[in-house]
Structure 1
Amino acid sequence: MQPEAAAYLWDAREAAQRVTEFISGLDETGYRSDALRRSAVERQLEIVGEALNNLRRVDAETADGVPDLHRIVGLRNVLAHGYAVVDDGVVWAAASERVPELVTYLGLLLGEGPSGA
């Protein structure tokens, strides 16, 4: 893996970990009612999508293994460019159901154990 690819993976993993921190202790109702957290989660998801899109450019082979890469980048595009049509339910589902799996996978690609060590 190229050093640049590892940097993008690290950026994506760090942003994804922030998402899990930002939603910790919330349910969907709590998330929807907290504009500050919604904004923070959306920004971190944009970073995840941008980093993985850049990974795809520099190391397509590694990027091809990332589950749902096209959906992640697509969500980033909606958040960045289609902000008027952002569906909080879709963002919540991504953040609460998919991001924890992504954190684990990205950690494994970075050579870390399942616990991040």
Structure 2
Amino acid sequence: MDERILKWLFDIKICVDEIESFFKGKEKDFLKYKENIMLKRAVERNLEIIGEAVNRIITRDCSFVERINNSRAIVGLRNQVIHAYDNISDENIWSVLTHHLPKLKLEVEKLIKESQV
């Protein structure tokens, strides 16, 4: 695997781990998330980095569009957070955190592991 792609996969993993650390030892509570502006901005920043890393990966090797589920949607979310910041839905971000991020983490860990074989 290309070293740059591997680096970007690790960037994604680090961001996912950081987001998970924000909730470590705490119940994931949407209302608390919605009220905590610092937490929201930290999550959004990590999602920006994840989206940029995915964009770089699929630009460098288009086969990753199929290897990372919803890769185009991940990039789309990054673009929305950056360019349409006034139109971000807390509910949408929460759905990403609770449903899509755990799947992305598994995919990225699998890709990293495959690269080390």
TM-score by length of 1: 0.89
Q: Which runs of 4+ in 1 moved over 6 A?
A: none
- Where does the alignment leave 5 or more consecutive residues of structure 2 unmatched? none
CA distance in structure 2 between the partners assigned to 1:29 and 1:22 by the alignment: 15
Correspondence 1:108 to 2:103? no
Which of 81, 97, 100 is the equivalent residue of 2:99? 97
Quick check: 2:65–2:72 contact (8 Å CA) kept in 1? no
Question: Counterparts in 2 of 1:63-78, with a 5 A limit?
Answer: 63-78=65-80
Percent identical among aligned pairs is: 29
Aligned partner of 1:32 in structure 2 is: 34
Quick check: 2:11–2:53 contact (8 Å CA) kept in 1? yes
Give the AA of the match of 1:81. Answer: H
| 1:62 positional shift | 2.7
CA distance in structure 2 between the partners assigned to 1:70 and 1:17 by the alignment: 21
Question: Counterparts in 2 of 1:16-27, with a 5 A limit?
Answer: 16-24=16-24, 25=26, 26-27=28-29
TM-score by length of 2: 0.89
Aligned length: 112
CA distance in structure 2 between the partners assigned to 1:23 and 1:29 by the alignment: 13
Which of 22, 41, 44 is the equivalent residue of 1:42? 44
| 1:71 positional shift | 0.9
- After superposition, the C-alpha distances for 1:73-107 in whole angstroms (9 at most, x for unaligned) are 11000001100000000001101211011111101
SS of 1:111's equivalent in the other structure is helix
CA distance in structure 2 between the partners assigned to 1:14 and 1:39 by the alignment: 17
Give the AA of the match of 2:93. Answer: V
Quick check: 2:34–2:40 contact (8 Å CA) kept in 1? yes
Quick check: 1:12–1:48 contact (8 Å CA) kept in 2? yes
- Where does the alignment leave 5 or more consecutive residues of structure 1 unmatched? 113-117
